[in-house]
Amino acid sequence: MMKLIVIICICLSVCLGQQLYVNFQPFVDSGCSGQPTIGVGYSMATDQCLQFPNGTKSYYFFVDALISGLRIYDNSNGGTGPDCSESYTFTAFKNKTCLTNVEYDQALDIVTPNALVGITKVPYVPASPISIVTSYYNQSISGGIGDDICTKSANLVMLDYILNGTTTTSGTNNQITSIFYCNEQLEPIQEICVNSECNQISLQVTCQQNPIDPGYFYQTICS
């Protein structure tokens, strides 16, 4: 009965033109079961041309009933900001599908091995564990000035979140380790260790304008 209610609500939202979000929740388990522990998740608004800063791809998500379609545009030839005007590749996935090797924010350089697709009317970030959340806002949707732009939920078009404790390795011999976590002051931290020498970098950002695409603002917090 509850599943039927959810289906009806999503279908009505599509028919009425309400904003929907396609979510990708990270899991270690290949069946996307259990408790999410590490990885990167995403929440992407539908019917918007989206691109993460320093990315070479633009994304356009849309929902038809309980199926999400995705057009991926190659922007590697240059330009600033999202561009969904050229040729694209297409993929689609059903609600509650478990996907493999998900990566939309290329600047993070973190591939999520397994991610559960979910369609919601509000952006989804799991309540537990705590995450480092970077949210992106389109000023042209409902306006705002300065920090006010990042308080308007209608402006929110996409976000990514790194689950607390996510670790990555890089370098020729994997000698570089990065650990992402929220400290006791709830400040988002990236700790980078090279051959056992470690430095901490604060990732906290309070509603700043995107230097690549001035129409967008972003913030990074622990949530």
How would DSSP label each residue in 188-212? EEEEEEETTEEEEEE--EEEEE-SS
Residues 6+ apart with CB under 8 A from 84: 49, 58, 60, 71, 73
pLDDT value of position 54: 83
Residues 6+ apart with CB under 8 A from 57: 51, 72, 73, 74, 75, 76, 104, 106
pLDDT value of position 55: 86
pLDDT value of position 98: 96
pLDDT value of position 79: 61
Reference 122, options 209, 17, 18; nearest CA is 18
Q: What is the pTM of this model?
A: 0.88
Sign of CA dihedral 54, 135, 41, 35: positive
CA 59 distance to own-chain centroid:
12
Q: Name the amino acid, one letter, at 208.
A: Q
* 170-178 LR contacts (CB < 8 Å, sep 24+): 170/109
pLDDT value of position 147: 72
Compute the distance between CA of residue 90 and CA of residue 72 in angstroms, rounded to an integer.
6
Structure tokens at 70: 């995705």
pLDDT value of position 202: 98
Residue spans per domain, the chain: 20-222
Q: Which residues of the chain have pLDDT under 70?
A: 1-17, 77-80, 142-143, 146
Which residue, chain included where needed, has tokens 């478990």? 98
For 106, the 3-state DSSP assignment is: coil
